[in-house]
Every structure is written in structure tokens, then in C-alpha cells.
A and B are shown apart, each in its own frame.
Chain A
Amino acid sequence: MMKGWFVITCRQAHALLSRRADGALPLMDRLRLRLHLTVCDWCTRVSRQFQFISDAVRRLGR
């Protein structure tokens, strides 16, 4: 693994997860995030939770 190039922290991964929900990620960020998610259960969990929050918010008011 090319450290420092592909490896990101959970903090950075969280930011990319959110960014991904608001528009397409650049290729490198997509790769970094995908790699991080394959090794990080916590961020994978948060990824699903962000998606869930988005689905849930759309139900408010109806």
C-alpha cells in the first residue's frame, strides 16, 4: 500500500462520504474512499447511516 497517497484517515473518509452525497467525487478520492471502506468497518457503518439519514429526512413533513 502506498502510504500517504492512498491511505486516508477516518476523519477524511467521513468527509468524502458526505461529499459523495453532494456530487461526484474525483477519481482519486473515489479510489481512496473505496480502499478505506474495504478495511474500515466503522466508516462502512457510517456510510450506510448517512444514506439512511438522507432517506429519512425526505420523509419529514409528509
Chain B
Amino acid sequence: MNTADTLRQTVGELQPTLLRIARLQLRNDAWAEDAVSETLISALEGVDRFEGQSQLKTWVVGILKHKIIDQFRRSGREVSIEAQAEAAEAETFDEIFTQDGHRQHEPLDWGDPESTLSRTQFLEILQICVDELPATLGRVFMMREWLELETAQICKELKITSTNCFVMLHRARLRLRECLELRWFAGKKMA
């Protein structure tokens, strides 16, 4: 198998991951499948320009981001209702803070977490934590941190106020922090 064939195979293997990401963002199987198909077609057409697999993956994921954003534009209002409902829900963070605003528990020292970034096992745990976020929260968070959209753009796409948007992003970060601490860092006994 030559290099181009190997890379074509890599593109094919990315499909399940791409589909999961697209479904989370678009909440519509048909749109998600369209976005992924279009991404794979573009990727296969351009595959000859790449030499390495990791560079190729970054590029393919970049294409998918654009396809997802295009679909947001086309679908407009249809995607927004659920977000409004979840944004309106009150959040107290009682499990993290006391009534007077102190933390209930000391946040663990994660040591030098950057060294874990290259570990597949850690990224799998992170993915589980993201998947466990309430649906809309996960979606808004990934729009911000993974699709790297500006907050103003997210508010506009989902028709929610910027305050709601900030609250949801904050809620998602707190939950992810707790989840990673529980599932990864607490077991690592980092000094």
C-alpha cells in the first residue's frame, strides 16, 4: 500500500469519530451524515497533499468544523429551541460551593497535567466526561471550545442571551473539571 492509500484508509477510519461529533453539534442524524459525507469527499480529494497522518486528521476535523457551521447557518431557528429551555433552568452548584460562596472541598492539585495530554487513555476519559454533560450544555461547550466559535456567534446561532450562554459554558466547565478530577486525577495521586 502506498502512502496515499494509507492516508485514504485513515480518512475512512475517522468516520465514526466525525459522525459522533457532528451528531452532538447538529442534533439531527441526516444533517450529521451529510456533513460527514461532504467532509470525507473533500478529504479524499485532497489527500495527496498530505504526508503525515496527524496533519491529515487536523485538516479533516477542520473541514468538518466548517461543514457544521454551514449547517447551523442553513438550519437557523430549528436548532435553537432546546437551548433556550436548558438555559432557563436554574443552577445552584450546591455540590461545589457553600451558601456563602466558599468551595465545599479543596480542588485537587493536578500536578503537571500537560504531560497527560498525549495519552490516549486520558483523551478517552475526557471524551466520556464531555459525553456525560447534559446534551445542550455539551453542545454549547463544544461550539465554544472545539469549533472555536465566538460566544456572540453561539448566542446568535442558538438564539439565547449572552448571559445564558456564559452561564451554560461555566456550568459545563465546572462539571468537566469535577468529572476529570474524579475519573483521572484523583486516581493519579499527583503531588
Contact = CB atoms under 8 A, between A and B. Distances in A.
B85 interface: no
Contacts of A57: 126, 130, 141-142, 145-146
A42 interface: yes
A56 interface: yes
Contacts of B130: 57, 60
Interface string B80-110: 0000000000000100110011110011011
Interface string A1-39: 000000001111011001101110000000000000000
Q: Is the interface of A mostly helix, strand, loop or mixed?
A: helix
B26 to A, nearest CB: 15
Interface of A: 9-12, 14-15, 18-19, 21-23, 42, 45-46, 48-50, 52-62
B113 A49 contact: yes
A9 B100 contact: yes
Contacts, number: 94
20 contacts: A9-B100, A10-B102, A10-B103, A11-B97, A14-B97, A14-B174, A42-B103, A42-B106, A42-B107, A45-B107, A50-B177, A52-B110, A54-B145, A57-B126, A57-B145, A58-B148, A60-B130, A61-B18, A62-B57, A62-B58
Contacts of B169: 18, 21-22
Nearest to A52: B113
Contacts of A23: 150-152
A37 B3 CA distance: 51
Contact of B145 (A11, A45, A58): A58
B127 interface: yes
Nearest to A45: B107
B123 A59 contact: yes
Contacts of B126: 56-57, 60
B2 interface: no
Contacts of A49: 107, 110, 113, 177
B151 A22 contact: yes
A44 to B, nearest CB: 10
A62 B61 contact: yes
Which 3 residue pairs are nearest across A and B when measured between Cβ atoms? A9-B101, A18-B170, A11-B101
A58 to B, nearest CB: 7
B131 to A, nearest CB: 10
